[in-house]
Amino acid sequence: MPSGSVDWKENQLTVALRIRPLSKDEKNAGATGIAQTVDDQIVVLMDPAADPYDVLRAKRSREKHFCFDRVFGPQCPQEEVYANTTKVLMSSVTNGFNATVFAYGATGAGKTYTMLGTDEDPGIMARALNDLFQEMERTSEDNVYEVSMSYLEIYNEMIRDLLSPSTGYLDLREHASGAVQVAGISEVSTNSSTEVYTEEPTSSSSSSV
């Protein structure tokens, strides 16, 4: 496990924060960053409206401290984000455990870049797929694996199958076992990360922003 990484096996839920660097347009507009990392778990938010001449508030702290399981600064590379959040999950998945990586944030926060990245600098999803299939190959003599994928969008509380958009909106149904499922969602069998990539661009381009 990478140095300083979170022991995910001891946590059912772990929250990491990534601070996006300012864009060129934001810099040109005079914007300044208010989020500062203290260490790899604490971030400080400065008050952008703080008035240095406000005598009544002069002795009050204008900073807000937040603690996370992991904090990544603006210059943190994709590989470090992946290595310290998701990489350790791959062996658990091949051992039969469920795992979810959920990116949350406002529009423009950098979710797509973090998850998908670019061809030159892949994000979490691409790196996870590569490692997953490599782990399956490494343990193929002792195990038999079956991999299938679905690709859906939840937008304004409506669910759409991005692998089969013409099916319209889908409903959530409760299975007899008590598990909640998306009724009618498409599943595509896949044997490699390359096969996953052939499905992803079309579905990704049709998703809402």
d(CA 120, CA 113): 12
Given pLDDT bands bounded at 50, 70 and 90, which one contains residue 1? very low
Q: Is 105 annotated as a binding residue?
A: yes
Q: Is 112 annotated as a binding residue?
A: yes
What average pLDDT does range 1-10 have in this prediction? Answer: 47
d(CA 153, CA 160): 5
Q: Is 29 annotated as a binding residue?
A: no
pLDDT digits (tens, 9 = 90+) for 83-116: 999 999 998 898 888 899 999 999 999 999 999 9
pLDDT value of residue 204: 53
Mean pLDDT, the chain, rounded, equals 85
pLDDT digits (tens, 9 = 90+) for 132-175: 999 999 999 989 999 999 999 888 899 999 998 888 899 999 88
Going from the N-terminus, what domains does the chain have, and what CATH number goes with each? Answer: 1-143 (3.40.850.10), 146-209 (no CATH)
Residue type, 90: M
pLDDT digits (tens, 9 = 90+) for 194-206: 888 887 645 455 5
